[in-house]
Structure 1
Amino acid sequence: MRTCRDAAFAAPDSGPSVLLPLAIVGSFQNNELMMFEHEDGNPILKLDDEQSWKLIEGTKHGRLVVTVAGDPDIFPVNYAVSGRKLFLRTAPGNKLAELTINSKVLFETDGILSEEAWSVVLRGTARVLDQSADIAEAEALGLKPWVPTLKDFYVEITPSSVSGRHFQFGEHPEREI
């Protein structure tokens, strides 16, 4: 991965690579560009931890998956990152109840452009913050609800694993016979 601040940056002619404008795929700072280099024309690139975290840190929306009694639920959320943990705000309801019953969660965030996309999946443990010092730290992140509703509960997600993929779109290949 290479980053640059010059929007006119051109990749050298050393095989397929993609410049991903971070300002487009999320709310990245400094208008950086992120380059993903695909080997041997493979349209799917497995991202390393650093690449995955850069995308998580630069994007402020995703989906939280919780499961109770074998029934999964998925919720759109906005979030903040601090110390490689995710923080979100919520109100009483299914999301809060379900992650309290089963703290094992999945989180996914992604970005789609005209010719490429990426996805990062985080597995982890959710915890409703109940100590005033923890809540104060979460409040300091400046996380605001998307809609004008009261979201008085902060949730911290501690990851156990993170995996990411970058995809280059293209035509369906012909099958060799």
Structure 2
Amino acid sequence: MHNDPPQPPTEVLDAGTCWDLLRRVSVGHLAVLVDGYPEVFPVNYKVDQQSVVFRTGEGTKLRAAGGPLAVALEADGHDDSQAWSVLVKGRAVILEPSKELLTGAGLTLFPWQAGEKDHFVRIVPTSVSGRRFTITSPLTWWNHVGQSAGRDTA
């Protein structure tokens, strides 16, 4: 139990705010299904209009994203007092390199990991949702070692 003042409720974000927040960070987590099980990959991405574009090389991520199943991308951020999380759900489309792509989002899309990342993938969203909340002080959750609520440790 704690005596902290009540926190403001979690804020449900509208789509416009979600897109603005997604533009503030460049790393998210791509969720795909592989052989019926979820796999999650970190990706560097860029917002391009009302979609998300990332680069990848050959492998599991590209095969799963290029398949018929839906994907999701989740990104988070925070400042000193608030945190947020945005989820983009949709279909992934493997893009053909084009002048428009390479002078747009592709121009500034730099993966952190070295290697061939010749494939561009766009997530065409079917939904975008997000939440923002006040960060709770760590002291709110602190229990002293050896003491449990309601127990005598002697």
TM over 0.5: yes
Say yes or no: does 1:62 pair with 2:28: yes
Q: 1:79 aligns with which of 27, 30, 45?
A: 45
SS class of match (2:114): coil
Distance in 1, Cα, partners of 2:45 & 2:66: 18
Distance in 2, Cα, partners of 1:50 & 1:122: 12
Say yes or no: does 1:42 pair with 2:8: yes
SS class of match (1:74): strand
Say yes or no: does 1:123 pair with 2:118: no
Distance in 1, Cα, partners of 2:133 & 2:68: 32
Distance in 2, Cα, partners of 1:169 & 1:79: 26
| Pairwise CA distance, 1:41 | 4.8
Say yes or no: does 1:137 pair with 2:108: no
TM-score, normalisation: structure 1 = 0.67
Amino acid at match of 2:54: L
Q: Deviations over 1:44-71 (max 9, x none)?
A: 1101111111001222110100013320
Moved more, 82-91 or 140-149: 140-149
Check conservation: 1:103, 1:127, Cα contact below 8 A: no
TM-score, normalisation: structure 2 = 0.76
Moved more, 155-164 or 50-59: 50-59
Distance in 2, Cα, partners of 1:146 & 1:95: 16
Structure 1 or 2, whichever has the larger Rg, is: 2
| Pairwise CA distance, 1:169 | 2.1
Amino acid at match of 2:28: G
Q: Deviations over 1:59-86 (max 9, x none)?
A: 2110100013320000000111111111
Check conservation: 1:68, 1:101, Cα contact below 8 A: no
Amino acid at match of 2:50: R
Distance in 2, Cα, partners of 1:110 & 1:161: 17
Q: Relative to 1, partners in 2 of residues 1:43 and 1:169: Cα closer, same or farther, differing over 3 Å?
A: farther
CA-atom RMSD in angstroms: 1.8
Say yes or no: does 1:101 pair with 2:67: yes
SS class of match (1:43): coil
In percent, how many aligned pairs have the same letter? 37
